Amino acid sequence: MRHKDYPFVEKMSVRMQVKLWHCLIINSMRRIILIVGYAEITGGELMFIETNPKDMTYRDLIDLAFEICDEFILVVRSEISKTDNMYNILWELQYSLREVKEQFEWPGTIYGGEQPVLVYYYDTNNPAKETLKRASNSLHDWVQPNLPEDLSFIKNHVPWLINTSHECESYIETNDKEEIDRILKIKGLKIRL
């Protein structure tokens, strides 16, 4: 990995560059996932989700995310096929859609592909919440071709629940004690601080 491949790095201080390079994990799909050390950069508490939230645990986590956050994202990559189910989910969510952006970065990921992905930004409202709970029974099921990818939540323009579904890696970033207590009380959610 070279600086010229990631020009934003050259604008960072040397100390931040060192932290960033220690935070990066590169997988075979050329995705770079920012995980370790993220809390140090943003100032929040990092809560790693150790197992895939499923069934009632997934639904309770979605309910909490909708209470705390004001938007969520879904990612669609052009180089991966799409099923009718995925198109149906996007159609069901259309009334909650804020905007769609072409991006190489989204919460938890810096994508090294040739073409940008489509990142869909949605409002957290009740119809959207019910669609997400009906569409999947697990946080890590948000993977193409059957579903859009990387369901993640944002609170006041800051990533809160970061999910990279292909890698089965998810974490919550918060320093709000009440939020931490509520997260820890979700039955079946295995968290590592």
Q: What is the pLDDT of residue 193?
A: 87
State the DSSP string of 34-92.
Answer: E-TTHHHHH-SEEEEE-S--BHHHHHHHHHHHHHH-SEEEEEE-TTS---HHHHHHHHH
Quote the CA–CA distance of 34 and 150 in Å, as a whole number: 14
Question: What are the distances in angstroms from CA 15 to CA 20, 64, 108, 155?
Answer: 9, 35, 20, 27
Question: Is residue 138 over pLDDT 50?
Answer: yes
45 vs 102, more confident: 102
What secondary structure does DSSP assign to 137-183, as a single string? SBGGG--TTTS-EEEEEEETTEEEEEEEGGGTEEEEEE--HHHHHHH
Tally the residues of the chain: 193
Q: What is the pTM of this model?
A: 0.80
Q: Please tell me the least confidently modeled range out of 4-8, 95-99, 109-113, 182-186.
A: 4-8
- How confident is the model over 58-93, as pLDDT tens digits? 999 999 999 999 999 999 999 999 999 999 999 999
Report, as an integer, the average pLDDT of 32-55. 70
Mean pLDDT value across the chain? 85
SS3 of residue 96 by DSSP:
helix
Q: Read off the amino acid at residue 115.
A: Q
How many Å apart are CA 168 and CA 142, to the nearest integer?
10
pLDDT confidence of residue 96: 98
- The CA–CA distances, whole Å, from 60 to 23, 73, 130, 163 equal 30, 18, 12, 16
18-43 confidence digits (pLDDT tens): 445 444 444 433 444 444 444 444 55
Closest CA to 66 of 135, 139, 130, 119: 130
pLDDT for 26? 41
Task: Delimit the domains of the chain by residue range.
Answer: 44-192
Phi-psi region of 37 (alpha: psi -120 to 50; beta: other; left: phi over 0): left
Alpha-carbon distances, residue 112 vs 14, 27, 53, 63, 169 (angstroms): 23, 10, 28, 33, 18
pLDDT of residue 148: 98
Please enumerate in sequence order all residues whose Cβ is within 8 A of that of 15, keeping only pairs 6 or more positions apart, or say none.
none
Residue keyed to tokens 């050259």: 10
pLDDT-wise least confident of 111-115, 116-120, 161-165, 180-184? 111-115
pLDDT at position 68: 98
